[in-house]
Each structure stands twice: as structure tokens, then as C-alpha cells.
Amino acid sequence: MEPMQINENSKNKNDNPNNKNKRLKNKITPQSPAVPSSTEVEQNGKEENENCTNEKIQQGQSEFTTPFIIKDKSQKVANFLTLLTLIAFIVSISIQYRQTRNMVEISDTANFISRQLFDSTMVSNMVSDSLNRKAIEIADSSIKISKKIAALQEIFTKIELRPYVMIDSIFPIIAVNQNFKYIVYMSNSGKTPAYKATINCSFKFSKTGVYEDNINKINRPPVNDAIYETLGNGNKDMINCIFRTMINTMIFNKIRSGEITLYLFGCIFYEDIFGDEHQTCFCWRYAPLENRFYTYERYNYAN
């Protein structure tokens, strides 16, 4: 079956309220319509105008209120985002400040440690320099001490190995109107020979003795006038000496009576194996009754 098609015109005719009213009028018994009064007409017009005005006001309010609400929400979101940005900026600044502060503290600590290390290095260098100076001083002192020890050893060696020439006795030969003669007996008690041994002496007639000035005048005899000998270690030798002075009778009698005393003094000069010179000084007193010489209480020494 084909669907029923409804004519739009017929539908519109049926839906028209005027058509409905006409159909109703045809069914209902016709009556005379009520005529509204002028007062009712004015009141109905006022109500319709108020309703229209209220609808327009409501439509206007709805049209203007919605954009304001949307704008307010956007502003709140923007303010919130700005606040978050400000908080993030403050937090970032705080973190950077703390980081910078930590870096400054670390730098200060590093500088302090560096200063401490520098001071320690300076102190270490000062201590090292002081120790080095002390070590150098000790080394110099040790070298000086070693040199002194070596010099002392050399001196002790020379002292130990040098010759020692001493006078054992002196035999006088005294006669009237003759030159004064004497014989010197000497010996070498050292460990090495005495080279170029020679003697130089003098005599004095005195009542008071011999003085130091007399000894100091004794010098090594000139080469042409001296007699040199080599006296071996442990050996003895004698030297005959003659003075040019003659002893007359008056001097001889005064010596014999003890009115005056004859003193014989002088030095023996010699060299050791090291080439050093030495001398042995002596001073003897003559005893006429015994006809011999005795050592005087002074000026008998050797260097």
C-alpha cells in the first residue's frame, strides 16, 4: 500500500485556529458574542505591554550578563597565573640566592684554606730555611772542628815526633890570664834527629844574678860564625866553646872568694824533620870550690 500523503495546505487549513473556531461555531449553537468594555481593553493592552517589556528586559539581561561572567573568570585565571609566575620567580630568586650564598661560602672557605695553606707553606719554608741555615752552620762548624782537629793532630804528631835537645852538663875550663873555655854536653831525647844544631851563649859576672833582658839578647848566631851539627835521636854530643874574654887575676880571685858569681847562659838552636825551628835556653851558675856549673833557678826551658 502506498503511504497516505497529506496535503500540506489541508494540514495548514486544519491547524489554523480560525478554522477551528469556525468548526466549533458550526457545531455549537450560535450565541451572540460578548463585547468587551473599553476598560478591559486598556487593561489587557497594558498587561501585554508589560509582558513584552519584561521579556525584552530579561532577554537583554541574559545577553549582557554572560560576557561579564566569562570575562571575570578569565581575569581570575590570569591573576592566578600571574601569582604562580610571581611565586615561581621568588622561589627561583631564593634558590639562586642560596646557591650564590653557598658558592660565596665555599669560595670563602677555599680562600681561608688557601690562606692557611699559604701560611703553612710560609712557615714550612721559614722552618726549612732555618733548618738549612742551621745545617749549614753545623756543617761549617763541623768543617772548622775537623780542621782544628786535623791541626791539633798535626801539632800532636809534630810534638810526638820532634827532637828534644837538652843540656846534660857544662864543664868549665878557667885559668888565670887565659880565655874562658867550657864544654857543653847535650843529648837528643826525641824520636827524630835534630838538624842544624848550633849554640850561642854568653857569660856574666854579677852579684845579683841574671835577668830576662840578658836572655832575650841571645839570638841565633850568624851563618858564618856558627858550627852546625846533626844530633840523632837518642844520641849525645859535646861542643867546645871559647870566649875571647880573658880572665885576669883580680876577676879570678873574686870568683874564687864568692864576691862575684859567674853565670853562663845561652840557647841551642836546631830544626826538626818538618823544618820547624826550636830552641833550648839555659842558664847555669858556676861553683868555684867544686869547679863545676849548676843550673840556675830560672831561664831553663825549651819550646
Q: At a CB cut-off of 8 Å and minimum separation 6, what does 173 contact?
A: 180, 181, 182, 183
Residue 199 and residue 237: Cα distance in Å, rounded? Answer: 12
Distances (CA, A) of 82 to 44, 68, 92: 57, 21, 15
pLDDT at position 281, please? 92
Residue 14 and residue 3: Cα distance in Å, rounded? Answer: 20
Residue 282 and residue 302: Cα distance in Å, rounded? Answer: 9
Residue 245 and residue 181: Cα distance in Å, rounded? Answer: 10
Residue 268 and residue 221: Cα distance in Å, rounded? Answer: 10
Query: Which residue type, as a one-letter code, is found at position 223?
Result: V
Half-sphere exposure of 162 (CA within 13 A, CB side): 20
Residues of the chain with confidence (pLDDT) below 70: 1-71
pLDDT at position 221, please? 83
SS3 state of residue 91: helix
pLDDT at position 6, please? 43
State whether CATH 2.60.40 applies to domain 165-302.
yes
Beta bridge partners of 247: 178
Cβ atoms within 10 Å of 282's Cβ, excluding its own: 25
pLDDT at position 46, please? 62
pLDDT at position 84, please? 85
Per-domain residue ranges of the chain: 65-104, 123-161, 165-302
Task: With 0.85 as the threshold, say if the pTM is over it.
Answer: no
